[in-house]
Structure 1
Amino acid sequence: MILGEQLLKILNKNYEPDTFVQTSFKRYDLGFKTDNAGRPILLFIGKMDENGKIKGDRFARRLVFNSSGEVVKDHWDNKGKTN
C-alpha cells in the first residue's frame, strides 16, 4: 500500500501531543500515534475488528531535523502487515 496525497494531508496536520487518534479515511479505518509535538509518527491503516484493533498495514514516519530544528527529511516507511 502507498500513502496517497489525500491521506498525507491528514497526516501532515498537528494533533494533540502524545495521543492515539482514531478516524476513518474513505473505506479504511485509521489509527495513529503522535509525538510530543503532535505530529503523527506511527500509522495503522485497514479495517477495525470487534476488539478495536486495526488489521491492515503499519507505517512509521521518519523525521530528520537540521541543527536549527527545521525538517530536512519527512518519509513514511511501510513496516508490514498488522494482525
Structure 2
Amino acid sequence: MKLREHLIKKLGQSYPPSTMVDMEYKGNDLSFKTDGNGHAILLFIGKRGPDGNIKGERYARTLKYDREGQLIKDHWELKGTAT
C-alpha cells in the first residue's frame, strides 16, 4: 500500500520529540515514532489488536539535510509487514 498525500501531510506536522504517538486516521490505526526534532520517522499502519500492537505495514522515513540545514530529501519507504 502506498502512503497517500493526505497521510504524508498529516505525518509532516510537528509532534512531541522522541515519543511514540498513537492515533486513528481514516479507519486505520497509526503508531509512529518521532525523532529528537519531532518529525515522524517510523510508522506502523493497520489495525490495532487487543495487545496494543498494530498488524499491517511498517514504513521508515529518510530525512536528509545539507550543510546549511535545509531539507534536501524526505522519503517514506515500505519496510515490510508489522505484526
Would you say same fold, with TM above 0.5? Answer: yes
Unaligned stretches of 5+ in structure 2? none
- The equivalences for 1:12-51 within 5 A come to 12-51=12-51
TM-score normalised over the length of structure 2: 0.98
Q: Structure 2 CA distance, aligned partners of 1:48 and 1:70? A: 36
Taking the aligned partners of 1:66 and 1:6, their CA distance within structure 2 comes to 26
1:41-80 aligned at under 5 Å gives the runs 41-80=41-80
Runs of 4+ in 1 over 6 A off after TM superposition: none
Q: Give the Cα–Cα distance (whole angstroms) in 1 for the partners of residues 76 and 5 of structure 2.
A: 12
1:3 counterpart SS class: coil
- Percent of aligned pairs sharing the same letter: 48
**Structure 1: segments with no counterpart, 5+ residues:** none
- How much is the aligned-residue C-alpha RMSD, in angstroms? 0.5
String of CA shifts for 1:20-67, please: whole Å, max 9, x gaps.
000011110000000000000000000000000000000000011100
CA offset at residue 11 of structure 1? 0.5
TM-score, structure 1 as length reference:
0.98
CA positional deviation for 1:79 = 0.2
